[in-house]
């Protein structure tokens, strides 16, 4: 079973994302900021990380830069999931090491589509 780490300081968003990902067959873990996510990743790298940008303690951008510098940190696919919708900000996230970018508000179809395009989901429901 593929694993996904959901990193978001909003409990509601984590819950919504968890439901979407579990419906798509993922095993889900949660972290509420970049430091917690880092701790999780040092134990075991997930297949994919759904990553909020603005969070206390360590934000998503700093997290992805640090992750990519860790041993094995190139492995997880990182999908930002953020309320930032400016093109320059999205470019910044991709340049920092993210593979994909989802703008909030999002839905299950958008998440499934991005996972499919990254090769993490075989079948895409029509």
Partner 1 sequence: MIDPMDRAFISALCLARAGLRIDPDRSYLIEGRLASVARREGFASPVDLIQALRASGDERLGWAAVEAMAMPETQFFRDRAVFDHLANEVLPALAKAREGEPVRIWSVACGTGQEIYSLAMMLAETPGLADRAELFGSDLSERSLEKAQAGLYSQFEVQRGLPARGLVRHFEKRGEGYALSPRIRQMVRWRRVNLLDDLSRFGQFDLLLCRNVLGAMAPEAQVRVRAALGRALAPGGRLVLGLKDGGELLTSIAPEIGLYAAPGEGGPMNVEPRRMATGSGSMVVEL
Would you count residue 96 as binding partner 1 (CB under 8 A)?
A: no
- From the number of C-beta atoms within 10 Å of its C-beta (0-12, 13-18, 19+), residue 78 rates as buried
**Cβ pair 23, 68 in contact under 8 A:** no
Instruction: Please list, in sequence order, all residues whose beta carbon lies within 8 angstroms of the beta carbon of residue 116, skipping any fewer than 6 positions away.
Output: 124
Distances (CA, A) of 107 to 67, 111, 113: 26, 7, 10
Stretch that binds partner 1, among 5-13, 21-29, 65-73, 112-120 (CB under 8 A): 112-120
State yes or no: residue 123 binds partner 1 (CB under 8 A): no
Q: Which stretch binds partner 1 (CB under 8 A): 15-23, 30-38, 53-61, 111-119?
A: 111-119
**Residue of 62, 94, 97, 108 that binds partner 1 (CB under 8 A):** 94
Write down the least CB distance from residue 109 to partner 1, Å.
7
Stretch 49-88: interaction string toward partner 1, x if CB under 8 A:
------------------------------------xxx-
What is the rounded distance in angstroms from the CA atom of residue 26 to the CA atom of residue 21? 5
């Amino acid at each position: 079973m593929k694993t996904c780490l959901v990193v978001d300081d909003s409990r509601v968003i984590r819950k919504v994302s968890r439901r979407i990902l579990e419906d798509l067959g993922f095993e889900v873990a949660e972290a509420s900021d970049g430091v917690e996510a880092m701790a999780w990743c040092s134990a075991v790298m997930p297949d994919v990380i759904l990553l909020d940008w603005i969070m206390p303690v360590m934000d998503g951008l700093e997290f992805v830069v640090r992750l990519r510098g860790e041993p094995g940190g190139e492995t997880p696919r990182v999908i930002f999931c953020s309320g930032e919708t400016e093109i320059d900000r999205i470019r910044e996230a991709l340049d920092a090491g993210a593979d994909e970018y989802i703008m909030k508000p999002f839905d299950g179809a958008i998440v499934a589509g991005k996972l499919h395009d990254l090769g993490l989901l075989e079948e895409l429901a029509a």
